[in-house]
Amino acid sequence: MANKKEFKIGVIGAGAWGTALANILAQKQNVRLWAKEKSVCENIEKHRENKRFLPKIKLSKKINCTTEINNVSECEILFLVIPVQYLSGVLTKLKNSLNEKTIFVCCSKGLEMNSLKLPSQIVSSIFPKNKIAIISGPNFAAEIAKGLPAATTVASKSEDVSKKIATLIKSPTLRPYLSNDIIGSQIAGALKNIYAIASGIVVGKKYGENAVASIISRSFAEITTVAKSMNAKKSTLAGLSGMGDLFLTCSSKESRNFSLGIDLAKGKTLNEIIQKKFSIAEGVFTVRALKKLADKKKLDLPINEAVYRVLYRKKNIDLAIQELLNRPITKE
């Protein structure tokens, strides 16, 4: 096994996406992968498989899994792939063991509930002098891990950093595109999980293809409203990290959030659904954060409001849909 100093690349988070990214990165060099769960780490080390989060995928021997967070402190580049609500807590533990040269790559999607910050903003609040990149796009972990063709966006204010990260993750089946719009690259990725719940509800209720297309289109309009309020580039929203990610997440049962919406439409409660899930559906948290942001900035986001009321105010789904349809006529 390679010693500690040989690990220049670290991945924090051994869920499906973190494990898939670690496996891609390990095609070119050693990777240290941090897992919260001891059983996951033991499985990876003994069997070269993450049976809990990414089953039936053979993992590279160049991946070294650890449950000690400080074991990633020697890494020059850290890929952050943990749920956004836990990101601040984990990074705080590393505050005294990392230097200003460490590059952070945000791979999680969402808004922190209390602060309303995007992942890059959370990182900057703890490590204000470090360079940051974003990976975001229509990327289901299982498909990436299987080597199916895909594309993604790598965004950074530093072109050198974005090129460096793109080179690391590029493979025969994964093509990265570069962007300098960090905020725009994160917004759609964060918010699409909310709208995937809405889309799942529409599908689960069997409202028809017209309704699905309408909900996705109007969801994109709401994302655009939020992006404009945060000075993101409109062109970014039309790309992989915007419309690409939204369309994928709103149309596939592989999406945890889309599946959650379908289950809600079938009459299951939020607690019943969550208890049966290994992985977190980020939209459940992000919808609350976006409601706070919308109230603060006075943004009109009726679909987000409807999803929030269904999840947290036990609003009847049919009534919520009817209220959306009966809103006053406005310009598109």
Instruction: Tell me the two tokens of residue 320.
Output: 């919520």
Distances (CA, A) of 24 to 71, 79, 212, 219: 20, 12, 34, 32
Alpha-carbon distance of 108 to 118, in angstroms, equals: 9
Residue of 62, 117, 192, 291 marked active site: 192
233 annotated active-site: no
Q: What are phi and psi of 10, to 5 degrees?
A: -125, 145
Cβ atoms 304, 222 nearer than 8 A: yes
E strand spans, the chain? 9-12, 31-34, 63-66, 77-80, 103-106, 132-136, 150-156, 174-179
If phi over 0 gives left and psi between -120 and 50 gives alpha, with beta otherwise, what is residue 331? Answer: beta
Segment holding 297, helix H or strand E: helix 283-297
Query: Nearest CA to 304 among 203, 225, 234, 210?
Result: 225
Alpha-carbon distance of 283 to 287, in angstroms, equals: 6
Distances (CA, A) of 119 to 111, 130, 196: 7, 14, 20
| Residues with catalytic roles | 192
